[in-house]
Amino acid sequence: GDSVTQMEGPVTLSEEAFLTINCTYTATGYPSLFWYVQYPGEGLQLLLKATKADDKGSNKGFEATYRKETTSFHLEKGSVQVSDSAVYFCALSSNDYKLSFGAGTTVTVRA
């Protein structure tokens, strides 16, 4: 079945550091890939998405590229801020449109 493997956290960074969260997936067919973010005390919200190979999703300075050859969708941001402290979830949906989530990565950015 479909599955998502995500880099384990927690991750602690200083402001302006570079952030990478690795995400790989296993799926049948051609899944869509997502990154969701959960800020402290808030619900999940979509951060970015990519629906086909080589697509790059981007939002709020974050980027992720759909790599079919490596079945990956790594999240990156070049210069993090304290406000980026959150839990990040990689997810995929296949033909039935059900979402499968990774375990989540807690990121803490210190001033």
Name the residues that contact another protein, by CB under 8 A.
31-32, 34, 42-46, 49, 51, 89, 91-94, 97-99, 101-104
CA atoms of 15 and 3, how far apart (whole Å): 32
Least distance between another protein and beta carbon 70 (Å): 21
Q: What burial class does residue 9 get, using C-beta atoms within 10 Å of its C-beta: 0-12 exposed, 13-18 middle, 19+ buried?
A: middle
- Closer residue to another protein (CB): 19 or 57: 57
Tokens representing residue 49 in the block: 């998405």
Least distance between another protein and beta carbon 44 (Å): 4
